Structure 1
């Protein structure tokens, strides 16, 4: 299988490369698939097989047809999706979890997060993960945004929420999760993100969104409910 993949992989081999990227254009922002030219960029799957099955995700191998008619192999991590929660206390502190990440071989500092159960509503998952990992329960939960964690090889989407009006109850982490919980001033977390001391992507995005919201609100203006652009409706409460 490896030799077959090598035959269909063009990374690093430019001997037959004869095309260039589109000329840079100064224009208004146009999102993916909203530009008529995007249709000509599509790769068309010819086949897809499960190469590896894991507890949390699968790795599938796709054979795709390229724009010039050639075929290539794309290995894609198929993930059920996840949620992450920026939990903000009345004192302006962010709830962070400390846990050992085997992939990095060290303890990381992150906002609470977890994968979606099959068919689970992301809003319900956000409440569940926050309570399980930190013991915090939120009376208000507002949708912030959705991020693709690494769309070059993975289809995982993480839905980010902001939790407010918090109260502490007993935590209940998974059997294989060992977590310590910190309450850190939001400005200190933002500084750590800007200094490059926080590397976790969902935590970086969550902190910067909170900072942007704080700066965009007019003096004395209260933050209203945030609408979910995916069409799930108002996610406040």
Structure 2
């Protein structure tokens, strides 16, 4: 029985793996699924069942067929997506929220963020979350990028926006959210990211994006 189950499912045991990775190729950047070779990497879903239903996300169990024909089990967190906001004051300070994270058992320092409701426009969600968590309204919000938070097991996409022209109104966090808000020099946050003192992925990306944009703008102005 055990042998027959092992022959049907494959979850990363290398005992009988006989394939190798593709040889390194020097080339220009080609995004995923745009390279003809990528077709040989694809897994074919055979079934998907909800293994666990939560308040924020579900965990689904998939049976897939691997490129070599064997079958494997994939546990995937299905998440509706989220937004995160890099909110900058006119004085060059970035708005950060301090919040206790049960999963890490400590308070983290992050840019404001929140979950999308099904069908919600991410731009509208960014304005809503910024106001709810920090009490700030923005005169202008611009899209920066989208990141996959942990694509090895989760389909969550976080849409990151930059908010400027900030004015303080009144915060309204969720009933189970307890938040303190800081306004920190952007350069100080970037230094903390580069020193490894900021671990939150969306905050790392948001800070480095701002730093990169700032340097590119300064470079363009120097060229002129």
Compute the TM-score of the two structures, normalised by the length of structure 2: 0.94
- Residue 164, structure 1, aligned to residue 133, structure 2: no
Larger helix share, 1 or 2: 2
How much has 1:14 moved relative to structure 2?
A: 1.7
Cα 1:99–1:5 shift into 2, 3 Å: farther
Contact 2:10/2:70 (8 A) holds in 1: no
2:9 maps to which residue? Answer: 8
What SS does the aligned partner of 2:119 have?
coil
Cα 1:142–1:214 shift into 2, 3 Å: same
- Distance in structure 1 (CA, Å) of the matches to 2:202 and 2:163: 15
Contact 1:62/1:74 (8 A) holds in 2: yes
- Distance in structure 2 (CA, Å) of the matches to 1:30 and 1:124: 32
2:138 maps to which residue? Answer: 138
2:42 maps to which residue? Answer: 42
What SS does the aligned partner of 1:217 have?
helix
Contact 1:5/1:73 (8 A) holds in 2: no
* Aligned-residue CA RMSD (Å): 1.6
After the TM superposition, which residues 196-235 of structure 1 pair with which residues of structure 2 at under 5 Å, given as runs? 196-218=196-218
Cα 1:6–1:195 shift into 2, 3 Å: farther
1:83 maps to which residue? Answer: 83
How much has 1:9 moved relative to structure 2?
A: 3.4
Cα 1:187–1:90 shift into 2, 3 Å: same
Cα 1:6–1:169 shift into 2, 3 Å: farther
- Distance in structure 1 (CA, Å) of the matches to 2:140 and 2:206: 17
Structure 1 segments of 4 or more deviating over 4 A? 4-7
Contact 2:43/2:67 (8 A) holds in 1: yes
How much has 1:6 moved relative to structure 2?
A: 10
1:107 maps to which residue? Answer: 107
- The total of aligned residue pairs comes to 218
Mind listing any 5+ residue stretches in structure 1 that lack a counterpart?
222-237
- Distance in structure 2 (CA, Å) of the matches to 1:155 and 1:68: 24
Cα 1:30–1:41 shift into 2, 3 Å: same
Mind listing any 5+ residue stretches in structure 2 that lack a counterpart?
none
- Provide Cα deviations, 1:1-60, integer angstroms capped at 9, x if missing partner: xxx69962332x222110100000110000001101111110000000000000000000
- Distance in structure 2 (CA, Å) of the matches to 1:190 and 1:212: 10
- Provide Cα deviations, 1:136-166, integer angstroms capped at 9, x if missing partner: 0001000000000000000000000000000
- Residue 23, structure 1, aligned to residue 23, structure 2: yes
1:235 maps to which residue? Answer: none
- Provide Cα deviations, 1:110-131, integer angstroms capped at 9, x if missing partner: 0000000111000000000000
- Distance in structure 2 (CA, Å) of the matches to 1:10 and 1:78: 20
